[in-house]
């Protein structure tokens, strides 16, 4: 958690969030503050509650896992504010909304695995709860053609178990079966772990809701147990970094 | 800067990095530690120096702007280690390399602008110093077709001034001219600023090396001066968040 996030929690009068995240936030919350835990899927209701409190003049902090701006609560807050026509800003009668960055699974997982994201990449969620599966399929297909390193979020959950195998199939149309793939689990939390497999084994891999998957591009390699996407230095300047430019 | 990064700096015996980043790190460095500033472009040489110190038994910290794993120094370190065949690990005679996450321009800029990254996105660098321009063009083209929010890094620098206009042209083949585009400047540093323009004005926009550009997808909208990509809550559940699922 960043010092800015800790400071924001310390100033909040009400702290809202999913039960598990609220526990992690608790040590930074002031003694007078009210804690309002909620269930996992009540995103919109939680955003509404935070906005209602803020409209009533309270400093409300809505806690999100990872980074609130990456597949997380920042969207629900602004969507709800827009749907209700609330006036945003820091003038009188306006609602001041501030997003405080955290560490998304994207960067936490990359650090755990090595350096997979040192060149162009994309992030795709396999959750079809709010997105048509056809659009997700199309994105995976185009992303593999584009040579992006592909970070796959929400690969699987209870009741959503077939998407990963179909995603792996699509990727295998464009990428070799030996393409290295990193699995980062429980990033930044207790019991975090990293594993590197090959794309051909992804469909059967042991992943869950808390796994973030990093699919390499054609230049990504494994060395010393790390997943590495070169920026091109060694190739371009030679192994000692001082050779002549080739490109 | 995260507490983990501050702790790592406090333990380092030598701290290396680009002059500007080293100044920001200095308050967290122990009094006995040696500081080794270097120029902007000597990435490989800097990584080699850090690895040589570590091989000689010193705790060396290599400081990077933003997050070391996102278009930054983590790649140069592992590439150099691989090119030299160094043994990585935490056993005897092995070199322990640990990547400590920071806040990349991607999440800092998103927070500054609103919530543009709450759905699938990609990151593309316009720097053709180490990447063929044709590959960059192709990635932009496929990314726009895929409906990714597109985060453009390194849009312009001294001596590299025509890529942005060509990139804007490619995006305009697939996206409407009114597509909202966010410009985040000097994210997380003094003088940071955010501005929202339309795609048709991107080619002429006032951007520099320190600007990160967020190109919306077909659902991204502007409300209250913020750039917002919906996850679909309002559309799917109705403005009160409690309507029936449509999809």
Residues 33-52 of A with CB under 8 A from B: 43-45, 47-48
Question: How far is A43 from chain B, CA to nearest CA, in Å?
Answer: 9
Mean pLDDT of A212-226: 97
Nearest C-alpha neighbor of A112 from the set B53, B97, B122, B65: B97
- The answer to whether B58 and B74 are in contact (CB under 8 A) is no
Size of interface A-B (CB pairs under 8 A): 266
Mean pLDDT of A95-120: 96
Nearest C-alpha neighbor of A219 from the set A210, A211, A209, A228: A228
More confident residue, B20 or B226: B226
Query: Average model confidence (pLDDT) for chain B?
Result: 91
CA atoms of B126 and B124, how far apart (whole Å): 6
Per-residue pLDDT for B247 more than 60? Answer: no
CA atoms of B53 and A190, how far apart (whole Å): 31
CA atoms of A202 and A139, how far apart (whole Å): 18
More confident residue, B40 or B227: B227
CA atoms of B60 and B73, how far apart (whole Å): 14
The predicted pLDDT at position B235 comes to: 52
- The answer to whether A53 and B208 are in contact (CB under 8 A) is no
Which residues in chain B have Cβ-Cβ distances shorter than 8 Å to A150? none
In the 3-class helix/strand/coil scheme, how is chain B assigned residue by residue?
CCHHHHHHHHHCCEEEEEHHHHHHHHHHCCCCCEEEEECCCCHHHHHHHHHHHHHCCCCEEEECCCCCCCCCHHHHHHHHHHHHCCCECCCCCCECCCCCCCCCHHHHHHHHHEECCCCCEEEEECCCCCCCHHHHHHHHHHHHHHCCEEEEECCCECCECCHHHHHHHHHHCCCCCCCEEEEEECCCCCCCEEEEEEHHHCCCCCCCCCEEEEECCCCCEEECCEEECCCCHHHHHCCCCCCCCCC
Flag whether residue A117 sits within 8 Å of chain B, measured between CB atoms.
Answer: yes
Mean pLDDT of A190-213: 95
CA atoms of B86 and B101, how far apart (whole Å): 23
Helix (H, G, I), strand (E, B) or coil at A24: helix
CA atoms of A76 and A82, how far apart (whole Å): 10
Mean pLDDT of A32-41: 86
The interface predicted TM-score of the complex, written ipTM, equals: 0.93
CA atoms of A117 and A97, how far apart (whole Å): 30
The predicted pLDDT at position B198 comes to: 98
Taking CA–CA distances from A119, the nearest residue in chain B reads B71
Which residues in chain A have Cβ-Cβ distances shorter than 8 Å to B74? 110-111, 114-115, 118
The predicted pLDDT at position B193 comes to: 95
Query: Average model confidence (pLDDT) for chain A?
Result: 91
In chain B, pLDDT over 70 holds for what percent of residues? 93
The predicted pLDDT at position B110 comes to: 98
Residues 6 or more apart in contact with residue A14 via CB below 8 angstroms: A33, A34, A35, A36, A50, A53, A58, A59, A60, A61
> Lowest-confidence range among A233-247, B36-50, B190-204?
A233-247
Helix (H, G, I), strand (E, B) or coil at A83: helix
The predicted pLDDT at position B232 comes to: 67
Mean pLDDT of A182-189: 91
The predicted pLDDT at position A49 comes to: 95
In chain A, pLDDT over 90 holds for what percent of residues? 79
Asked whether the beta carbons of residue B110 and residue A99 sit closer than 8 angstroms, the reply is yes
Helix (H, G, I), strand (E, B) or coil at A5: helix
Question: How far is A152 from chain B, CA to nearest CA, in Å?
Answer: 10
Mean pLDDT of A186-200: 92
Flag whether residue A137 sits within 8 Å of chain B, measured between CB atoms.
Answer: no
Query: How confident is the model over A49-62, as pLDDT tens digits?
Result: 999 999 999 999 99
Nearest C-alpha neighbor of A149 from the set A172, A125, A180: A180
The predicted pLDDT at position B187 comes to: 87
CA atoms of A127 and A156, how far apart (whole Å): 8
Question: How far is B244 from chain A, CA to nearest CA, in Å?
Answer: 13
In chain B, pLDDT over 90 holds for what percent of residues? 79
Residues 225-244 of B with CB under 8 A from A: 225-226, 228-234, 236-237, 239-242
Mean pLDDT of A108-129: 96
Instruction: Choose, out of A128, A135, A226, A242, the residue to mutate when testing the contact with B (most B CBs < 10 Å).
Output: A226
Asked whether the beta carbons of residue A82 and residue B146 sit closer than 8 angstroms, the reply is no
Per-residue pLDDT for B24 more than 80? Answer: yes
- The answer to whether A213 and A227 are in contact (CB under 8 A) is no
Per-residue pLDDT for A240 more than 60? Answer: no
Per-residue pLDDT for B75 more than 80? Answer: yes
Residues 172-211 of A with CB under 8 A from B: none
The predicted pLDDT at position A232 comes to: 67
Taking CA–CA distances from A138, the nearest residue in chain B reads B146
Question: How far is A215 from chain B, CA to nearest CA, in Å?
Answer: 14
Per-residue pLDDT for B236 more than 70? Answer: no
CA atoms of A125 and B23, how far apart (whole Å): 38
- The answer to whether A223 and B95 are in contact (CB under 8 A) is no
The predicted pLDDT at position B246 comes to: 32
Taking CA–CA distances from B78, the nearest residue in chain A reads A228
The predicted pLDDT at position B159 comes to: 86
Local confidence band at A44 (pLDDT 50, 70, 90 cut-offs): confident
The predicted pLDDT at position A39 comes to: 76
CA atoms of A112 and A185, how far apart (whole Å): 9
More confident residue, A91 or B117: B117
Alpha-helical runs (H) found in chain A: 3-11, 19-25, 43-55, 73-84, 105-113, 133-146, 163-172, 233-237
The predicted pLDDT at position B189 comes to: 80
Per-residue pLDDT for B195 more than 70? Answer: yes
Question: How far is B60 from chain A, CA to nearest CA, in Å?
Answer: 17
> Lowest-confidence range among A91-105, B8-22, B28-42?
B28-42
More confident residue, A173 or B239: A173
Q: Which domains does chain A have, with CATH numbers?
A: 3-84 (3.40.1010.10), 105-228 (3.30.950.10)
Question: How far is A144 from chain B, CA to nearest CA, in Å?
Answer: 10
Taking CA–CA distances from A100, the nearest residue in chain B reads B111
Of B75, B118, B230, the CB nearest to A230: B75
- The answer to whether A175 and A145 are in contact (CB under 8 A) is no
Flag whether residue B91 sits within 8 Å of chain A, measured between CB atoms.
Answer: no
The predicted pLDDT at position A114 comes to: 98
Burial class (CB in 10 A: 0-12, 13-18, 19+), B216: buried
- The answer to whether B161 and B203 are in contact (CB under 8 A) is no
Helix (H, G, I), strand (E, B) or coil at A157: strand
Which residues in chain B have Cβ-Cβ distances shorter than 8 Å to A192? none
Per-residue CA distances from B206 to B133, B140, B199, B211, B213 (Å): 22, 20, 13, 9, 11
What pTM was computed for the model?
0.93
Per-residue pLDDT for A27 more than 90? Answer: yes
Strand partners, A197: A181
The predicted pLDDT at position B40 comes to: 67
CA atoms of A4 and A92, how far apart (whole Å): 25
Asked whether the beta carbons of residue A103 and residue B145 sit closer than 8 angstroms, the reply is no
């Amino acid at each position: 958690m960043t010092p800015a996030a800790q400071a924001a929690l310390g100033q909040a009068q009400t702290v809202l969030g999913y039960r598990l995240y609220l526990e992690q936030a608790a040590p930074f919350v002031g003694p007078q503050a009210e804690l309002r835990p909620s269930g996992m899927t009540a995103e919109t209701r939680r955003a509404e509650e935070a906005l209602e409190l803020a409209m009533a003049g309270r400093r409300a902090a809505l806690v999100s896992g990872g980074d609130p701006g990456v597949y997380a609560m920042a969207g629900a807050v602004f969507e709800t504010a827009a749907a209700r026509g609330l006036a945003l800003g820091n003038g009188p009668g306006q609602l001041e909304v501030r997003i405080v960055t955290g560490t998304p699974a994207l960067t936490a997982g990359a650090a755990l695995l090595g350096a997979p994201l040192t060149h162009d990449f994309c992030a795709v969620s396999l959750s079809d709860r709010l997105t048509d599966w056809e659009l997700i399929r199309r994105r995976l297909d185009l992303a593999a053609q584009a040579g992006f390193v592909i970070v796959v979020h929400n690969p699987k959950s209870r009741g959503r178990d077939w998407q990963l195998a179909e995603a792996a199939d699509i990727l295998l149309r464009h990428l070799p079966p030996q393409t290295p793939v990193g699995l980062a689990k429980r990033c930044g939390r207790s019991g975090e772990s990293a594993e590197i497999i090959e794309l051909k084994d992804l469909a059967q891999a042991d992943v869950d809701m808390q796994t973030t998957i990093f699919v390499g591009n054609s230049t990504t390699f494994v060395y010393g147990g790390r997943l590495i996407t070169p920026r091109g230095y060694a190739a371009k300047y030679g192994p000692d970094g001082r050779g002549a430019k080739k490109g």
